[in-house]
Structures are given as C-alpha cells and as structure tokens.
Amino acid sequence: MAGDELKVVRGFSSKASPLPQDLLKADTREVPAGLLATGTYPSADKTIALNRYCSPEFAQLEKEKLWKKVWQFACREEDIPNVGDRIPYTVGDLSFMIVRSGPSSFRAFYNTCLHRGTRLCDGMSSGESVRCPFHAWEWNLDGSLKNIPSRWDFPKVDSEKYRLPDVKCETWGGFIFVNPDPDAAPLSKALGVLPEHFASFNPAERFTAFHIRKKVRANWKITMEAFLESYHVVETHTESLGFTGDASTQYDVWDDGASHISRLITPSAIPSPHLGDHASVADAVNQAFQAFALAMPGVPVPQYDPASRLNGRAQVAEWRRQMMGAGLGRDFSNVSDATMIDSIQYYMFPNFCPWFGEGLPLVYQFLPHGDNPNESIMSVRLTVPVPGGGAPRPPSAPIREIDFDERFDAVPEIGLLAIIFDQDMGNLPRVQAGLRGAEPGHAFATLGRYQEQRIRHFHDVLDRTLEA
Ligand code: FES
Ligand SMILES: [Fe+2]
C-alpha cells in the first residue's frame, strides 16, 4: 500500500527503556561513528517459502550458486599460528584446507588428494609439507607437487598439472575468508562498512578465548536466523528481560550491491520495554552487574548507586572498564559505554557474524552440515583483546565440539551464555520438524517488518545470488 512504510515502528521503547540512538546521546564517552550510523534498507513485508529450509534440491542450488561463488568466513589467523599449520574449512560437502604458508601469508586449497581423492586435512595439523595419509603423495605449502612414492609408476603425471588447486583466500582483522570463484571481486568489496565500523574495535588485536562448534538438527539458515533478531527474547530468554532492551533493539542494513551487511544493537542494563514504564532501572543495572560477573568469577560485584553522578548504564560500563583493564593490562578509559556493555552484532552475507564491542565480543559462523539440509553447524567463539604491556599473544583456544544431543552447559566455563544458547538450541529442531510438516497452503514464514528485517534482507540477497 502506498505510504504504508510510514507506519513502520522502528523499535518499541518505554520511559525506562529508550531506543539505542537516545542512549548513545547519554554516553559518557565519544561514541564510534559506526554506532551512530543507521542503515537505509526500506521496510517491507515478506514471506519465506519453508521448502528452502529442507529441500535437497535447494541445498544443492546453494552449493553451486552460493558456497562456490561468494566470500565466506573460514577461520581466524590465530587458529593456525605457525608456518605450516593448517585447518579444514568444511561447508556442506565442500572442504578447503587453509594453510599458513608464510609468517603472514595464507593459502586455501581444495581439501582433496589428486591421487584418489582422500581428504587431505581433517583437523588442525602442521608440517613443512602436506602429505596424504593413504599413499603419501606430498605437496609443498605453496601447492607445488613435492613427491609421489614410486614416481616411475606415474609417467603421465605432469608435476605442474598436479599442483593442489587453490581458491581465493584473503584476510581482514585477523579473520580468514575464502572464495572458490576464480573470477570473484576482492574481499574488500564484500566487507562494505565493516572495516570502518570496526576500526576502534581492532579485531586483529584479539584472540579466541573459547571456540565451540555445535551440531544442530536444523537447516543452517534456520540456525542463523534465530540469532539475527531479538524478537524471540521475550519468549525464549524470559529471565533476560530485566536487563535487556529486547524490543528497543535497533536493526540496520547496508547493501551497496557488492556488500551485504546488517547489524543489531540490543541495549543492556535497561529493562525490557515489555516490562512497561515502571520497570526498575535499579534492578536492570544490578542484574547486568550479575550477568557480566558470571564471566569473571571471583570479582566483587557492585550494586547500583542511585547517588552516583553516573547513570546506571555508565556505572556498569565504568566497572567493566576497570575490571577488564586490570585483567588485560589495557586501557579502556576512552571506550564508550555502549561499546563496553551493549549487544552489538554485525552480519556479513552469508555465514559471518562478528559482534562489536566488549559487551559480548562473540563471532558466529553458520554452515550446512554434509549434504543433509536438515542439519547445520554453528561455531561460536569469544574474542578477547590481546593483553597489553608486551605480554605474549595467548594461544587460540582449541575447538570444543558439541554433538547434536549434547548441550552447551557441557561447557560451564562460558557461564550465562551456556544457558542462553541452550534455550536457543531448544527451539531449532522444533522449527525444522514443524516446517517440514506444514500445511501446503501455509508453508511459508511471515516476517515482522522491522524486527525481522535482517532475515528478509538475507533472503533478498540469497535470491539474487541463486539467480545469478
Ligand atoms: S589417495 Fe592420496 S596418496 Fe593415494
Ligand atoms: Fe537467542
């Protein structure tokens, strides 16, 4: 309907729970320009056909037109810290081997032996060359053929033609990306606003403090979409409502045709607007103190001080600056309140979700699992600033695999996050099961115009990608 767009409500606030842009005006520090920036994607209604979440044909189309054609997040540089280290990046039944080929250079190869097809790398490994475990064909780190046992038996094998086939591999901020399309534009085109928005966050100077890979009985898009909106918080994470501005979340999309980026800002240390105008700011601040303290065992937990010259959010931010500063030997004194405490999550099409800020510095990656459209893998890592004062860079945490029927609370050291992820995971197999049995006349999802716009944008881009 013409003019209908004007009726869109851009977030739902209450007196106790302002919208993010109003909170940013009250920040005690200069706010990074990226946080003040807002997206330009028009609001619209959208329905999504449910068969794209379970059809083997659709998954096959994604393999050919999406995963073989776009820049995608593979791993972090610190996962392979030494020359010769390598790790697989496996997306569906495609697999690539990411190799540190020099002190600060990386290469990515098809993870398949040119003799009889064996997967070359099936976990973190290392060495001056890549040797197949079956018959020991061997390649140098630049992909050139090094050795074939019984070379006399392969007179037709031309060493030049038996270089390991490689794929494009570039880095940004310590993140390694690959693109199997030899004609792809450079990574910088796909990053869009990310380098500018993350400049103050310096993702290169961070290390992976924990890294979990969870197998999920749901399509990779179902798993991912559950993390692109805060609309589900009111029902799924009810106990967070006291200190989370879920419905006041700001959503933004930036799309210039080459880069497809979206973001949410969910404010912390304010009550949910669902709790109404009379919700307690003091309770919100105290609960935020408690939630952050779960990740810092042994640290004394302050209480909201109504007499302080600082508002409640600023009190939590100041405590975080001091605790993190003392723990890491770094100076957070100029870092904005929002950066210290809010949940600010970016998304780059198709599988990369880096969070911004110290509130929740996570990185998500979403991947299809094998050729089964009903299964996926979600990788979650926490990136922490590298300690200051010349301390050595801590090693990247080893990957902790969590199987389909295992829960995140098997990793209690991640504190409150384990409870939250288990709540999310509880929904996902039910969504997958439900959508597969939908009544044929109503086999579509219906998206909220504002709060689910990042999902709409994702499907808009997916459609364009699959049609290309
Ligand atoms: S399959 Fe790799 S050496 Fe034979
Ligand atoms: Fe959630």
Q: Which of 99, 80, 95 is nearest to 139 (CA)?
A: 99
Report residue 91 as tokens.
Answer: 């997306």
Phi and psi at residue 404, to the nearest 5°: -50, -45
Count of domains for the chain: 2
C-alpha 299 to ligand 2 mean position (Å): 26
**Which ligand places an atom closest to the C-alpha of 421?**
2
Ligand 1 contact via 134 beta carbon (within 6 Å) = yes
Residues 375 and 298 in one domain: yes
Place of tokens 């939590």: 316
Which string of DSSP letters, residue by residue, matches 238-307?
Answer: GGGGGGB-STT-EEEEEE-SS-EEEEEEE-BSS--GGG-TT--HHHHHHHHHHHHHTTSTTPPP----TT
Ligand 1 contact via 176 beta carbon (within 6 Å) = no
Residues 167 and 262 in one domain: no
Residues 383 and 313 in one domain: yes
The reported pLDDT for the residue numbered 389 is 86
* Mean pLDDT, the chain cut into blocks of 10 residues (468 residues total): 53 89 97 96 91 98 98 98 98 98 97 98 97 98 98 98 98 98 98 98 96 98 98 96 96 97 98 91 96 87 97 97 94 98 98 96 98 98 93 93 96 89 98 98 96 97 97
Residues 212 and 81 in one domain: no
Question: Coil, strand, or helix at residue 47?
Answer: strand
With residue 453 as reference, give the H or E element that holds it: helix 453-467
The reported pLDDT for the residue numbered 8 is 60
Residues 162 and 223 in one domain: no
The reported pLDDT for the residue numbered 14 is 87
Ligand 1 contact via 304 beta carbon (within 6 Å) = no
Q: DSSP label at 111?
A: S
The reported pLDDT for the residue numbered 244 is 97
CATH of the domain at 150: 2.102.10.10
CA angle 249, 226, 195 (to 5 degrees): 65
Ligand 1: which of 113, 122, 129 to mutate, judged by most atoms within 8 Å of the beta carbon? 113
Q: Report the atom number in ligand 1 closest to the C-alpha of 113.
A: 2
Q: Report the atom number in ligand 1 closest to the C-alpha of 132.
A: 2
**Which ligand places an atom closest to the C-alpha of 422?**
2
Residue 12 domain flag: no
Residues 381 and 329 in one domain: yes
> Residue 213's CB: how many other CB atoms inside 10 A?
16
Bridge partners of residue 464, in order along the sequence: none
Q: Say how many residues make up the chain.
A: 468
Ligand 1: which of 135, 150, 153 to mutate, judged by most atoms within 8 Å of the beta carbon? 135
Range of the domain at 144: 72-179
Q: Which of 375, 346, 179, 181 is nearest to 254 (CA)?
A: 346
The reported pLDDT for the residue numbered 204 is 96
